[in-house]
């Protein structure tokens, strides 16, 4: 889900999903006692979700600035 956050428009859905499911997955992995793996993948997905948020904000700001400046 985190890498989906880097795709415009669809990324908003990916960001929300990654930021909701990431902490849940991390807690399940930690409680599993070693049965489940992938904590690093969860961490990377969460980081990519935050990067997607920043890129989306920058894209909106750029679009607004382009519209205002003309």
- Per-residue pLDDT reduced to its tens digit, 32-63: 998 999 999 999 989 988 888 888 888 889 88
Instruction: For residue 59, give its domain range.
Output: 3-69
Q: Which pLDDT value is given to residue 56?
A: 82
Question: Is the separation of the CB atoms in 52 and 11 below 8 Å?
Answer: yes
User: Which pLDDT band holds residue 11 (cuts at 50, 70, 90)?
Assistant: confident
Q: Which pLDDT value is given to residue 18?
A: 85
- Tokens at 15, concatenated: 């960001």
* Spatial CB neighbours of 4, under 8 Å, sequence gap ≥ 6: 10, 11, 13, 14, 17, 18, 52
Question: Is the separation of the CB atoms in 15 and 49 below 8 Å?
Answer: yes
Q: How many domains are contained in the chain?
A: 1
Determine the length of the chain: 70
Global pTM value: 0.75
């Amino acid at each position: 889900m985190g890498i989906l956050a880097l795709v415009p428009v669809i990324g908003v859905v990916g960001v929300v999903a990654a930021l909701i499911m990431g902490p849940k997955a991390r807690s399940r992995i930690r409680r599993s006692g070693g049965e489940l793996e992938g904590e690093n993948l969860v961490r990377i997905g969460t980081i990519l979700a935050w990067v997607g948020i920043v890129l989306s904000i920058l894209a909106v700001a750029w679009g607004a600035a382009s519209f205002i400046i003309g």
